[in-house]
Structure 1
Amino acid sequence: MGADDGVSMVDEMTATTHRRAFVAAGVGVVLVVAAFVVPHLDLGIVTPLINATPERFRDFAGTAPIFGWWNAHVGWGTAPAIVIGAAAVLWGQSVARQLPWRALPWVSWATACAWAFSLAMVDGWQRGFAGRLTARHEYLRQVPTVTDIPEALQTFSRRILDYQPDSWITHVSGHPPGALLSFVWLDRIGLGGGAWAGLLCLLVGSSAAAAIVVAIRALADETTARMAAPFVAVAPTAIWIAVSADGYFAGVAAWGIALLALAVRSSTRWSPLVATGAGLLLGWGIFLNYGLALMALPAVAVLLTAVDWRAALRALVPAALAALVVVAVFAAAGFWWFDGYTLVQQRYWQGIALDRPFQYWSWGNFGSVVCAIGLGSVAGIGCVFDRAAIRLRSGLHLVVLGALAAVVFADLSMLSKAETERIWLPFTIWLTASAALLPPRSQRWWLAVNVVGALLINHLILTNW
């Protein structure tokens, strides 16, 4: 093969990647436009909310598929957010290439944290940060009522269903007890209130950027991890990470997957210990959010990248045993996960879920995903469906496909109708890394699209979370 043939082949591959990226982004645009427009066309049950007065529709579906209210606004976080976003676009790639590897995860975390906090501050300190987790359906309203933790665990399942004198409030009832316990423990050590709770969610949630960079280096290579870093650091998902408990859940799950990736791809004597850490985090994750059981799909994707089945088993066995220890501890304390999951499904259908038709949300959910990850990452997803890379068990391809599968299963369960820009954060943060598969010369422009999209959503919609 001559030099010209080699160059021609590279050009053809780049052109194919560009086509896939633009097709995926085009589909994303159509999906988002349809998701925003259809609710206002009076198409019967193909609508985000039925049996609703105009006021209720405005409050719960006025900006569907995003949960919020139309409200063009700016705040003191506007200028920092624009500066951080612009800096990431202009210099993010070069900084990611040149930083010493040990510094890159830390810088990714710091950037993600500053970006998320700035976006939250667009809505102001109280509305955008300190007051978010003190709303009437949020965990902090329940914290003062937990005076006996062992008793709360023993009676937790009994209080899940609604219309009882001692029913848990909405978010507490909809999650396993680990979510509530996290905020109870924070309060017990003297860090009570919305600001400290928001800080926990911000720090843990934004640390997912570092976890993803670490995982991609283990699963793919350092170059790919460096290309992914700017996209995960200033992802639009930050709008919902800053002060939602789901940001905290996403961070915990991300580090569980990252540690599993390190254990699978390493053969050092520390690998079993790292795998145990992964199992503890992923085990804790399913007691934060029932939906995190679907993190098993990205976890399986990570195991498939092992060099052989022995390496996969060396990571799987200690991780599984550690996760089972977490399950056993909760069972001994009086909470059985499967009982809670069964009851929470009944509680789900006692609420607004009955008025949210699957005929809209089955595809409208994906419109919110596009908004949450940005069109640049959607373009990257178009490059994930590469048969040759999948046959070679490319780590980034497989873990993104695992996260996509988790999203699809969550959607088909009909237990995630609306608010998925927040609820699916543990899965969607991994999708943002797919942009590393785009041709390097185009990545800056796709990153700019993500940043502009995040700024527009945050400034035009007053998001509920």
Structure 2
Amino acid sequence: MTPSTPSTPAGASPPEASPPDDARPRGRGIRWVRRSEALAIGGIAVAILLMVLAHVLPKELDWTVRSRNYPPLHATWMPRTGPGTPFAIATALLLLVVGERVARTWPWRRLLVASAVAAFAWMLCLALVDGWAGIADVLESDIEYLQTARQVDDVGATLREFVSRIPAGSEGQWPVHVAGHPPGALLTFVLLVRLGLGTGGAAGIVVMVLAASIPVAVMLTLRILGAERYARLAAPFLVAGPAAIWMAVSGDALFAAVAAWATCLLAAAATARRWWAGAALGVASGLLYGWCVFLSYGLLLLGVLAVGVLVAARAWRPLPWAVGGALVVVAAFAVGGFAWWEAYPVLVERYYAGIASERPYSYWVWANLAVLGFSAGPAAGAAVALAASRLRAIRDGGALGVLVVLAIAGIAMVLVADVSGMSKAEVERIWLPFVPWVLLGTALLPRWLRLPTFAVQLGTALLMQHIVFSQW
């Protein structure tokens, strides 16, 4: 059985038109491969240097950066092992040995299933380093959504009073995470409670299952747009890496899953052959994108990714349908009593009235990128360098153009979020919806570098999970 070949979007050349990135052709090709090797190694080195400096400088220079005792992560130094340790190590070794071969050779559908299972297993093993508490206790924290969700018995009243309870010191003020997000985040957990999944353990498993679907959605997006080969090359990096530490049992992982499937549906809409199918898929995509904006204020930046999908597909037909779907969500919340545009300024005021005012922008504007190195892994440095070096491919189209435009969209979302000043610290979880798209650039790694780079990713995850403790 051989993998099926996706149809090619209108205006794009077939995947075979792009030369293999791991080949070593003569002449200019050899120079390009050597350049790619230098870019990849340099990108990883820069990422690691940023990670080291962001951790060492505050301690050595006595900077007050307000990130617990392991800057730049919002985490605590806590070396430990636990029940999940041997399973996490075994899973890492198995992924390292077979991951690349499976991604290249398995039939497509089987690969998608294997990717979801492997992603779930990786998250589960890492979480279980702290035993069952690593799953069950996180969402039970008093800063999270679940405790508040259990108290909601009138959704309409919750929406109507939501903005008035955002300010610090207000009557009945929301807990930190509830106040820091639009009500869609809280309502998602309200739904879990009403479905009988309102315990920390049950909600945690649901979050991990959804998070495990993210690699599937991202790979499907690439395949739909005619870039299956690059989806396969990026697959190991999408499935397993340090991000799994925060993907497991994090509300932001749930947000990332919704964003990934919204993007996949938009790609399907852009390549649909029948207008009605494109319209239906476009509306469905818009509904999910709209819901994303009510999960996290920062996910308004997904508009950059949506435009990237349409550029990659060379098709703008789904745009009005997607916008219409998103506006339905906006209108529904407004009718229910919550206006996003009224809430955001209130949130900004609370954000800067609290710890954000004590976190120096001059540090966090670059330390956030170091946090991305911890979360997405040092391979993110290589992914950024390689994608940025192939910008011309966007104009040329084809499978390579698809890959590059989506990777650049991921990078752009991170940069805009970073300079905004609304993401000072804690981006190991806040930027989870952007991480898979940034990591698409790993598909451009030269062949001999893929395995050692993947080993660095897995090693970083194992090390960080065993030496620091994060509350999410």
What is the TM-score when the length of structure 2 is the normalising length? 0.91
Aligned to 2:423: 416
Q: Read off the aligned partner of 1:428 and give its amino acid letter.
A: V
Aligned to 1:242: 248
- Identity, % of aligned positions: 39
Q: Read off the aligned partner of 1:117 and give its amino acid letter.
A: L
Contact persistence 1:237–1:429 (CA under 8 A): no
Structure 2 counterpart of 1:151, from 154, 157, 162: 157
Structure 2 counterpart of 1:14, from 6, 11, 33: 33
Q: Is 1:48 aligned with 2:69? A: no
Aligned residue pairs, count: 444
**Which 4+ runs in 1 deviate beyond 6 A?**
none
Q: Quote the Cα distance in structure 2 between the aligned partners of 1:140 and 1:306.
A: 39
Structure 2 counterpart of 1:332, from 321, 335, 350: 335
Aligned to 1:389: 393
Specify the SS of the correspondent of 1:69: strand
Query: 1:123-157 CA deviation, whole Å, 9 max, x = no partner?
Result: 2211x110101111111121232121111111111
Q: Quote the Cα distance in structure 1 between the aligned partners of 2:206 and 2:441.
A: 27
Residue segments in structure 2 that go unaligned for 5+ positions in a row: 1-23
Measured after TM superposition, the shift of residue 381 of structure 1 is 1.8
Structure 2 counterpart of 1:27, from 46, 49, 53: 46
Query: What is the alpha-carbon root mean square deviation over aligned residues?
Result: 1.5
Aligned to 2:367: 364
Structure 1 counterpart of 2:376, from 373, 378, 382: 373
Aligned to 1:55: none
Q: Quote the Cα distance in structure 2 between the aligned partners of 1:382 and 1:43.
A: 32
Specify the SS of the correspondent of 1:122: helix
Specify the SS of the correspondent of 1:109: helix
Query: 1:255-313 CA deviation, whole Å, 9 max, x = no partner?
Result: 11111122223434522222222111111101111110011111111111123xxx31x
Q: Quote the Cα distance in structure 1 between the aligned partners of 2:283 and 2:90.
A: 40
Contact persistence 2:313–2:402 (CA under 8 A): no
Q: Is 1:165 aligned with 2:165? A: no
Contact persistence 1:298–1:400 (CA under 8 A): no
Q: Read off the aligned partner of 1:217 and give its amino acid letter.
A: R
Query: 1:222-259 CA deviation, whole Å, 9 max, x = no partner?
Result: 11111111110112111101101001001100111111
Q: Read off the aligned partner of 1:450 and give its amino acid letter.
A: Q
Q: Is 1:221 aligned with 2:240? A: no
Structure 2 counterpart of 1:426, from 402, 424, 433: 433
Q: Is 1:188 aligned with 2:191? A: no
Contact persistence 1:206–1:242 (CA under 8 A): no
Contact persistence 1:129–1:195 (CA under 8 A): yes
Q: Quote the Cα distance in structure 2 between the aligned partners of 1:144 and 1:388.
A: 52
Q: Read off the aligned partner of 1:69 and give its amino acid letter.
A: T
Residue segments in structure 1 that go unaligned for 5+ positions in a row: 50-59
What is the TM-score when the length of structure 1 is the normalising length? 0.92
Aligned to 1:257: 263
Q: Is 1:136 aligned with 2:155? A: no
Specify the SS of the correspondent of 1:263: helix
Structure 2 counterpart of 1:318, from 314, 317, 321: 321
Specify the SS of the correspondent of 1:61: coil
Query: 1:29-75 CA deviation, whole Å, 9 max, x = no partner?
Result: 1111100101112355xx413xxxxxxxxxx4311111111111111
Query: 1:181-229 CA deviation, whole Å, 9 max, x = no partner?
Result: 1111111122211112112211112211111111122235211111111
Specify the SS of the correspondent of 1:62: coil
Specify the SS of the correspondent of 1:164: coil
Query: 1:71-107 CA deviation, whole Å, 9 max, x = no partner?
Result: 1111111112112211111111111122111222221
Q: Is 1:437 aligned with 2:418? A: no
